Amino acid sequence: MRFFLISLLLIPLFALPSLAFATHGAIGLVPCHGTDCQTCDFVKLGNNIIGWLVQTMAVICALIIVFAGFKMMMSAGNSGAVSAAKEMMVNTLVGFVILLSAWLIVDTVMKTFLRNGVLLGPWNEIQCVVQPTTTPPPPGGTIVVVPPTPTPTTTPNACTIPALTPITDALALQMEGGQTVIFNNVTLQACVTKFIGMVGGTVTSAYRPPAYQTHLWEIRDRWCTRGLLSNTDSLCSTLKTSVSGEVQKHFGGSWSCGAVGQVSTHSSGVGVDISGPAHGTAPVQQAASESCLIWKNYPNDAVHYDLKSGCTCN
């Protein structure tokens, strides 16, 4: 009875190869159908047959062990019958171990030579590669082989410096067209008129919508900060010509990358640029104070004034 129970416990051991093939192998022995078959599929067919035979032998060995255990249980103390049953069980186990060992040895050798020594993974794994497709030839023509589409590679084909953002704001377009002096603050306009009446000068810029201020900042950013001024890349030549024209238009040929903020008091209606007066002298500073203006004296931007808060120039 004891040997019979042992033989029943060994059945799952022989069932493991069958489970492994069931989870990894193909559902059927034939891996392809009709014109889809390749030479590789014949090799895969042989591999499937070998797997099926191993599964079958595992089941047969399990049945033999069960039969030997049954004979041992029914021997009724007959030592000869018990010995014969034991010999049947041992021979079955040894034969199955030899079968699996031969399979493992061949598999290890194949993986060593064909898989660069990678010994992990399913036994006898075979992957068939899909071959390039062919299109039927036209009458009197030749067969055209269509290889797999390669992965496209990206190559630099444009200037790395971004272009200027197109202007869409209506007032900014108006200023870009030439009307650069626009006041939207009557107090600032009155104070500037008073200041120019005292010391002279010309207003070059007053109110700027944010889009126009951004446009001026982008010109400086591309030309000075990003180095378009000294850029010799042929891919940037068109952009360099375009931005160079904007530099000449807005800042003049003698401009040396003066200060241009991304945001400015021009956009809030209290900033103004006045050229002409000797800005740092005492008389001009006195006139600015009496006209409610503050000279900001920004680096490379000596013409900028801001309106004093709460001042009316009356």
What pLDDT digit, counting tens, does each position of 226-249 carry? 999 999 999 999 999 999 999 999
Residue 21 has pLDDT above 50, yes or no: no
Q: In the chain, which residue ranges form alpha helices assigned H by DSSP?
A: 2-24, 39-73, 79-114, 170-176, 186-199, 210-220, 237-250, 282-290
∠ CA 107-9-124, rounded to 5°: 10
The CATH number for 266's domain is 3.30.1380
Share of the chain above pLDDT 90, in %: 36
The reply to whether 22 falls in a domain is yes
- The residue out of 132, 161, 183 marking a domain boundary is 132
Closest Cα to residue 61, out of 107, 13, 3? 13
Residues 125 and 231 in one domain: no
The reply to whether 103 falls in a domain is yes
Number of structural domains in the chain: 2
**Domain carrying residue 79:** 2-132
Residues 195 and 79 in one domain: no
Residues 174 and 302 in one domain: yes
**Mean pLDDT of all residues in 272-285:** 92
Residue 250 has pLDDT above 80, yes or no: yes
Residue 16 has pLDDT above 50, yes or no: no
**Mean pLDDT of all residues in 157-181:** 90
The reply to whether 259 falls in a domain is yes
pLDDT at 165: 94
How far, in Å, CA of 120 to CA of 276, rounded? 84
pLDDT at 256: 85
**Mean pLDDT of all residues in 8-17:** 48
Residues 189 and 88 in one domain: no
Residues 182 and 293 in one domain: yes
Residues 213 and 84 in one domain: no
**Confidence band for 86, pLDDT divided at 50, 70 and 90:** confident
Residues 128 and 28 in one domain: yes
Residue 308 has pLDDT above 90, yes or no: yes
**Mean pLDDT of all residues in 142-159:** 63
Residues 302 and 175 in one domain: yes
The reply to whether 145 falls in a domain is no
Phi, psi of 294 (to 5 degrees): -120, 120
The reply to whether 75 falls in a domain is yes
pLDDT digits (tens, 9 = 90+) for 94-148: 888 888 888 778 777 666 665 544 444 444 555 666 555 555 656 655 555 666 6
Please name the residue that has the structure tokens 């008073």: 194
The reply to whether 153 falls in a domain is no
Residue 19 has pLDDT above 60, yes or no: no
Single-letter amino acid code for the residue at 189: Q
**Mean pLDDT of all residues in 64-88:** 84
Most confident of 96-100, 254-258, 286-290: 286-290
Residues 215 and 265 in one domain: yes
- The residue out of 106, 132, 158 marking a domain boundary is 132
Single-letter amino acid code for the residue at 2: R
Out of 31-45, 51-65, 71-85, pick the least confident. Answer: 31-45
Average pLDDT taken over every residue of the chain = 79
Residues 174 and 303 in one domain: yes
Residues 121 and 182 in one domain: no
Share of the chain above pLDDT 70, in %: 74
**In this structure, is the dihedral angle defined by the CA atoms of residues 62, 67, 73 and 77, taken in order, positive or negative?**
negative
The reply to whether 263 falls in a domain is yes
pLDDT at 111: 64
Residues 85 and 186 in one domain: no
The reply to whether 271 falls in a domain is yes
